[in-house]
Chains A and B, each alone.
Chain A
Amino acid sequence: MIITTGVAYPLLVTAIGQTVLPSQSNGSQVILNGKVVGSELIAQSFDSPKFFHPRNSTDSGSGVDPDIAPDSAISQIHAISSVTGIPVNALKTLVDLDIARNKETNALVFAPDYVNVLNLNIELVKQYPEVYSQEISAKGGT
């Protein structure tokens, strides 16, 4: 029984997962420019004023909540816009796009609207590489 339930079962799930669903199996890693920059499911800390910030780790149930409420994202837009020069509307659109994408993940109805901070920030970097060139190169340098 130990072998069946404790070894065979998890190993079989692992084998199938690694073959069929490698991305999920390994923690839904997000890749930017060919490099793994995090897991879209795990909050990443951001201190630069150019980025959207996640919740304080102690505010959530898990401590690694990757998401913020739409209100919280929108309230950050003005500050980011003034630091980066990215128009407020553009930022707003990106937030909305992320909300829409998350809605899709949740089959439209199964979760409230929320913003995935890492995905949103990656989108920022992708859309405005010039603004974030510093961060990217710094990363490349390490």
Chain B
Amino acid sequence: MTYVEIVILLAVLVGSLGLAIIFGRYIARMIVYEKRPLEKTLGRVENGFYKIIGIDRYEQMTWKQYFLALIVTNVIAAGFLIVILIYQNSLPLSPKPGLSFDLAFHTAVSFVTNTDLQHYAGDQQLSIFSQMVGLIFMMFVAPASGISAAFAFIRGFIRKEFGLGNFYVDFTRIIITLLLPISFFSALLLLFLGAPQTLDSTITVGTLQGGSQTITIGPVAALESIKELGSNGGGFFGANSAHPFENPTGVSNVFECILMLVIPLSFPIAYAHLLGKGRGISILATMLIGFGVMLALGLSEQSGPVGLETRFGSFGSTLFLESSVASNTGAANASLSGMSPNAVIGFFLGMFVQAIPGADGTGMMMMIIFVILTLFLVGLMVGKTPEFMSMKINPKDVRLAAFVFLIHPALILIPSVIAYTTDNAQSILGEQTTPTTFTQVLYEYSSASANNGSDYLGTSANTPFWNWSTALVMLLGRYAPIGLMLSIAGSFTLRDRKEVVEPIKTSGFLFVGVLTVMVFILTALTFFPFLAMGPFSI
């Protein structure tokens, strides 16, 4: 690495960690309803919302009620988006032809599950109204749902028999007092750096050579900021963050990396505030080690220049993409096919683990599942019934945690096989299956299952099979783990807490080492052959 690259890397790390320290503390306060800055004003605004929606802010929910409220909210939001996308031709602001039902359904599922897999090109197929009222709105709903779930999950370990919180309250507070303010200021910064923000959909100019050029434009800055902050990743343009309007300069590139990483990294900090400094920092360290491995893989081989943007180069593209995939944002500032096989192995790693640091909220939940499984083995190794947070880990927890792990490979591998046996893979990628095309298929479902959203296929996958199958994978990949994890939290909240010292501390170098090894071994054992058959053989 050159010194310039080191400076860029440090800027991203210091920037995201620095902000994570601030927001982590803030998130911790949100989880336990402690006083936040501007509490009175914020409280008044929130109360207004509670009144409009008609909810009792003091009502506490069990894990089932919480999960149900999350599902209901998400279903309503997704339904709304489907309607907008299908009928965008009769809606205002540069109407375009309505999307087919399967594409509209796929897109709605994709955005509500925080995946943002796009089988359409936003700049060509969506109206400004769809982008703004449909997608920007959904880009708040999806991360707010994930973060709410993580709030409830963490409360499960703090509270005793007091419910997991109120989904509607969390959801409102997260949007109004976390996501909206940050995206607002980030949007202004991106604007300053060159991202456009207008309600016009195109501008036409006379070129220097005397021709004419039509440039697609729109409310890009507002979408871009929540796209990165909310681990969404769905671009305004088909080219995503490679497009100069979405990511105009090297500075915006660094800033967007920071935006993608900040909330996922805030969670271990919040955890540190709530459940012990050492524990939170150890989880943070594990996440960073994992992310470091992804980066190291990506940087071990030169990518591009074909498929990459000149202003980012190999380093800027690799840094952005590894950050994006690690945080399950799925935004891309380069074409994936321009990236080196090693970088792609890094992407797969991020999507397989989903917790280094993972998406907003759900990354943290996933990491805690890894912690529980690690503690199970650690406990046995020292001759004690495994415990987490001084609460016994019982067979039911192990069953639920094992399910969470089982779902992911199943959702990736089985649909991939179906895509091949039904000829749907071959029909868009060619009769001859090569390591490259296999990688693309595997990537598509990995991205869908991990709710990541980056992909190779793009608009070429806009066929009923790919739309329906990936939509189903995204739904299962999102709600099944959240449901299972909330039920784990629900059962932990009923459990007795001890004042007993942990047999093995869940902090410190030893724990970080074990947790890291566990994360990698479990992932590698499952996916090693496929990486060998895919990107490794390219």
Contacts and interface: CB of A to CB of B under 8 A. Distances in A.
A and B touch in the complex (CB under 8 A): yes
Interface of A: 1-2, 4-7, 9-10, 12-14, 16-18, 21, 24-29, 32, 35-39, 41-42, 44-48, 51, 55, 59-69, 102, 105-107, 109-112, 114, 118, 121-122, 125, 135, 138-139, 142
Contact of A13 (B134, B197, B248): B197
A66 B312 CA distance: 12
Interface stretch (B24-32, B313-321, B342-350, B467-475): B313-321
A25 B196 contact: yes
Interface stretch (B104-112, B179-187, B353-361, B386-394): B179-187
A107 B316 CA distance: 14
Residue among A60, A102, A135 with max Cβ neighbours from chain B (10 Å)? A60
B133 A2 contact: yes
Nearest to A141: B210
A141 B213 CA distance: 17
A68 B251 CA distance: 18
20 contacts: A2-B137, A5-B141, A9-B222, A10-B132, A16-B188, A41-B194, A41-B245, A45-B209, A48-B209, A61-B242, A61-B333, A62-B237, A64-B239, A67-B310, A68-B310, A102-B311, A106-B311, A109-B7, A125-B208, A135-B209
A111 B207 contact: no
Contacts of B4: 109, 112
Interface string B1-19: 0001001100100000000
Nearest to A28: B194
Contact of B140 (A5, A13, A24): A5
A135 B207 CA distance: 10
Contacts of B338: 61
Contact of A38 (B80, B205, B219): B205
A36 B210 contact: no
A114 B312 CA distance: 9
A112 B221 contact: no
Contact of B210 (A28, A63, A142): A142
Contacts, number: 224
Given A13-B188, A62-B237, A122 B80 contact: no
B191 A111 contact: no
Contacts of B249: 105-106, 110-111
Contact of A7 (B132, B187, B209, B217): B132
A142 B204 CA distance: 14
Contacts of B197: 10, 13-14, 17-18, 24-25
Contacts of B245: 27, 41-42
Q: Which 6 pairs of residues, A with B, have the shortest CB-CB distance?
A: A111-B250, A61-B242, A6-B137, A110-B250, A41-B244, A67-B310
Given A29-B203, A59-B306, A62-B309, 13 more contacts: A9-B184, A13-B188, A26-B200, A28-B194, A42-B245, A61-B333, A64-B244, A65-B242, A110-B250, A111-B312, A112-B315, A112-B316, A118-B208
Nearest to B237: A62
Contact of B222 (A14, A27, A39): A14
B38 interface: no
B196 A27 contact: yes
A61 B208 contact: no
A42 B201 CA distance: 15
A106 to B, nearest CB: 4
B207 A37 contact: yes
Given A2-B137, A135-B208, A28 B242 contact: no
B514 to A, nearest CB: 37
Residue among B192, B200, B245, B316 with max Cβ neighbours from chain A (10 Å)? B245
B308 A29 contact: no
Contacts of B243: 62, 64
A60 B307 contact: yes
B340 interface: no
A106 B253 CA distance: 10
Nearest to A16: B188
A37 B207 CA distance: 5
Given A13-B184, A14-B219, A25-B196, A4 B208 contact: no
B223 A32 contact: no
B454 interface: no
B285 to A, nearest CB: 27
A24 to B, nearest CB: 5
A110 B133 contact: no
B206 interface: yes
B137 A1 contact: yes
A12 B184 CA distance: 9
A7 to B, nearest CB: 6
B191 A21 contact: yes
B178 interface: no
B325 interface: no
Contacts of B242: 60-62, 65
A39 B202 CA distance: 12
A13 B219 contact: yes
B209 A24 contact: no
Contacts of A135: 208-210
Interface string B112-135: 000000000000000000001110
B476 interface: no
Contacts of B407: none
Nearest to A60: B309
Given A2-B133, A60-B308, A62-B237, A29 B205 contact: yes
Contact of A61 (B132, B205, B332): B332
Contacts of A25: 191, 196-198, 221
B196 A28 contact: yes
Contacts of A142: 206, 210
A62 B239 contact: yes
B525 interface: no
